[in-house]
DNA sequence: CGTTATAGGGTACGGCTCGTACCCTAAGGA
DNA sequence: TCCTTAGGGTACGAGCCGTACCCTATAACG
């Protein structure tokens, strides 16, 4: 029927695109190999020749649709930086991207191999570095004690936000909560390390 | 063969016990309806007459095997209380119980109905109250400012610990990390709210 | 320009699981 | 004693994963 027969890179991209769309529409549970193959206009052979598992395809599809550029706000105040950072993260996790990511993380809880793949892909390390940079700038401005430039301080806000997602089922958090995390936890913590 | 035929409560308990054992041995993914039925010495009819989904059975089985008595340490110092609390939680989550719970939580990420069931069963609220009680005692001793008796302060240590599980794949955290959470995050945070 | 190894396409299948349907029989109350 | 109820046995449809097989388009290579 179709005159052309796609090969190599072109076919691979088509499969990834199809898988990403399935992920977005139906989540990881709904991302069936047959449906991906059908949507890509190919068959499962071409998929299994490239990825060993369904899960591997899921991860590849996710990274295909998401090249999350990490935000790095510099508003001039520690409070402004932190709040902006949390707002960006909240927006990302509430987006369809975030839904796919959370779904994949949940599904990968069984398979440790995938979990590590996801983790190294999630950019947790660079996230830390951004927060540490914020703290360093604040310390240089005299806005925070030098002892506040610390790994645990840097990771706490995001961890609290993430836990907030877990407590609510809803992955989106009202802005008021973000303000609360900054004013009631992050800034007191920074002050308390004088 | 078996002369007796179990009914009602007796059969229900047998099914729950079988499901709980399957959960413990093979996780939620391995808890097959057929296997539960076989292990309980019955068939799927008896199960589906009681629980509509596999997931509902999973939750029922979990709550059947876990009636987690909430710890409530009172060591005389805020640091001691917090550390003891984190140690207890860490032990619980590292145990087979915890493995089952984490597995269920992951599996329930898709089905919001189950997620709420799990949440209301997890006792997050009473956890908060225990931490608030610790803070109140510390404030009464003059060990902490009154402003530290605050919901966000109370929930932060457990949230950080939980996030620590997510960062490592491993659900068990070395004791040193618990000490770090208390000394580098919790106590500075309490101090910072003066 | 012809030949040949490679990779896609089509299709079918085995194995597993969920959830349902039937039919028969033990249990226990009326 | 009879009769409603609930268990037991079994089979089945449907969906999915991962594999196998066979045929053909494609591209590299002589």
Domain boundaries, chain B: 8-65, 78-192
Estimate the crossing angle of helix B96-107 against helix B54-65, to 10 degrees: 150
The SS3 of residue A73 is coil
From the list B103, B185, B192, the residue facing A152 with the nearest CB is B185
The whole-angstrom distance between A190's CA and the closest CA on chain B is 7
Cβ < 7 Å from strand D, A residues 76-105: none
Q: What is the pLDDT of residue A100?
A: 75
Instruction: Specify the residue for token string 């920074």.
Output: A190
Q: Judge whether residue B1 has pLDDT over 50.
A: no
The stretch B150-179 carries a mean pLDDT of: 85
Q: Is the CB of A38 under 7 A from strand D?
A: no
Contacts of residue B28, defined as CB under 8 A and 6 or more positions apart, other chains included, come to: B58, B100, B103, B104, B106, B107
From the list B112, B159, B191, the residue facing A192 with the nearest CB is B191
The stretch A86-105 carries a mean pLDDT of: 79
Bases of chain C below 7 A from a protein C-beta are 7-12, 16-22, 26-28
Where does the pLDDT of residue A2 fall: very low under 50, low under 70, confident under 90, or very high at 90 and above?
Answer: very low
**Top-confidence residue, B125 or A190:** A190
Where does the pLDDT of residue A188 fall: very low under 50, low under 70, confident under 90, or very high at 90 and above?
Answer: very high
CB within 8 Å: B152 and A185: yes
From the list A106, A155, A185, the residue facing B106 with the nearest CB is A106
pLDDT tens-digit series, residues A72-82: 889 999 999 99
Q: Is the CB of B94 under 7 A from strand C?
A: no
A39 neighbors A21 (Cβ within 8 angstroms): yes
Q: Which of B126, B89, B92, B121 is nearest to B105 (CA)?
A: B121
Domains A8-65 and A78-192 share a fold: no
A81 neighbors A75 (Cβ within 8 angstroms): yes
The stretch A122-147 carries a mean pLDDT of: 88
Q: What is the pLDDT of residue A1?
A: 44
Interatomic CA distance for residues B140 and B160, integer angstroms: 26
pLDDT tens-digit series, residues B52-107: 888 889 888 888 876 656 778 899 999 999 999 999 888 887 777 777 777 777 66
Average pLDDT, chain A: 85
Third-level CATH fold of B78-192: Tetracycline Repressor; domain 2 (1.10.357)
Q: Radius of gyration (Cα) for chain B, nearest Å? A: 20
pLDDT tens-digit series, residues A12-28: 999 999 999 998 888 88
**What CATH number has the domain spanning A8-65?**
1.10.10.60
Q: Is the CB of B36 under 7 A from strand C?
A: no
């Amino acid at each position: 029927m179709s005159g052309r027969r796609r090969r190599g890179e072109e076919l691979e991209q088509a499969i990834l695109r199809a898988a990403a769309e399935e992920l977005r529409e139906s989540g990881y549970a709904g991302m069936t190999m047959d449906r991906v193959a059908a949507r890509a206009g190919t068959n499962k052979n071409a998929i299994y020749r490239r990825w060993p598992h369904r899960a591997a395809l899921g991860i590849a599809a996710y990274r295909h649709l998401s090249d999350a550029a990490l935000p790095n706000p510099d508003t001039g105040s520690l409070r402004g930086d932190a709040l902006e950072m949390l707002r960006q993260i909240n927006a990302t996790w509430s987006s369809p991207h975030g839904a796919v990511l959370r779904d994949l993380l949940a599904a990968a809880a069984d398979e440790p191999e995938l979990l590590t793949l996801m983790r190294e892909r999630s950019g947790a390390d660079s996230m830390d570095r951004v927060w540490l940079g914020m703290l360093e700038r604040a310390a240089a401005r005299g806005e925070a004690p030098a002892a506040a430039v610390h790994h645990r301080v840097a990771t706490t806000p995001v961890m609290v936000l993430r836990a907030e997602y877990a407590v609510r089922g809803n992955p989106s958090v009202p802005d008021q909560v973000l303000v609360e995390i900054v004013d009631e936890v992050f800034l007191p913590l920074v002050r308390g390390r004088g």
